[in-house]
Copies of this chain bind each other. A is one copy, B any other.
Amino acid sequence: MNPGNGAPEGSLVPVRTVARLSQYRRVLDRLLDEGHRQVFSHQIAALAGGSAAQVRRDLMLVGCRGRPSKGYDAYGLKGCIEELLQAPGGQRVALVGLGNLGRAILPFFARYRPALRIVAVFDNDPRKIGEKLVEGCSPCQGMEELEQTVRQSGITIGVLTVPPGAAQGAADELIAAGVRGLVNFAPVVLEVPEGVFVEDIDLTTALEKAAYFAHHAGKPAEGGA
């Protein structure tokens, strides 16, 4: 559980802050597109939906510095955030479970920046094996090839789009092969050793939250993930 937070002990930057930084970077891309060379905390806050003080504190926490009255240098700030968010040589991602959701997510991530690349897909359905999927990603492989492929490709991140009953097993295999971060779409709480991070995306719970607050619409505001 730990809905939305989860405390990486001993780690540098809190989970919430990392999530916000990811959004700040997206906002920065947009501001750069629009020709801004300097940005202010209140601009980022407006576009990312937070408060200016929050933005400043987040940036301070990760050592991005601005200058009074001149704001932050847009390029410098983007670089500063990316330096924190991205591993030097990029990171490789494996997706497990080529169902509807897996297929939908694949192109979504595939056309994504080079720092994170889905390079392998696994499924246990023989009919799916060998299927060519997206540019830069090996054709679908069987689960028995998972460990070796993940290890050899240096994959460190796994996306789980398998049925609930298969999620823990798939997670175990990925972790055994060296994966340290998981995005889990299965509505199951995964047991993972310390040092492995799990980001749960629970569509059912998300819908139920929206349903609850839609129903009890007194005056709720925003939620998020």
Measuring CB to CB, which residues of chain A are less than 8 angstroms from any residue of chain B? 1-13, 15-16, 18-20, 22-23, 26, 47-50, 84-87, 91, 93, 99-101, 103-105, 107-109, 112, 115-116, 156-157, 159, 179-183, 187, 189-190, 192, 194-225
- Contact flag A180-B23 (CB < 8 Å), given A15-B223, A201-B201: no
CB < 8 Å neighbour of A217 from B159, B197, B205: B197
Interface SS, A side: mixed
Contact (Cβ within 8 A) A206 B211: no
Contact (Cβ within 8 A) B224 A198: yes
Task: Report B-chain residues with C-beta under 8 Å of the C-beta of A84.
Answer: 212
**Complex Cα distance A19/B203, Å?**
11
Task: Report B-chain residues with C-beta under 8 Å of the C-beta of A87.
Answer: 211, 215
**Complex Cα distance A20/B157, Å?**
26
CB < 8 Å neighbour of A225 from B12, B190, B206: B206
- Contact flag A224-B210 (CB < 8 Å), given A101-B108, A217-B180, A218-B10: no
CB < 8 Å neighbour of A4 from B115, B218, B220, B224: B224
CB < 8 Å neighbour of A19 from B3, B13, B100: B3
Complex A-B, nearest 7 residue pairs according to Cβ-Cβ distance, in ascending order: A4-B4, A181-B214, A8-B220, A181-B210, A197-B213, A104-B104, A6-B223
Question: What 13 additional pairs, Cβ within 8 angstroms, besides A15-B209, A112-B207, A198-B222?
Answer: A2-B224, A9-B221, A12-B216, A18-B213, A87-B215, A101-B105, A180-B215, A181-B217, A182-B210, A196-B217, A198-B210, A202-B225, A205-B225
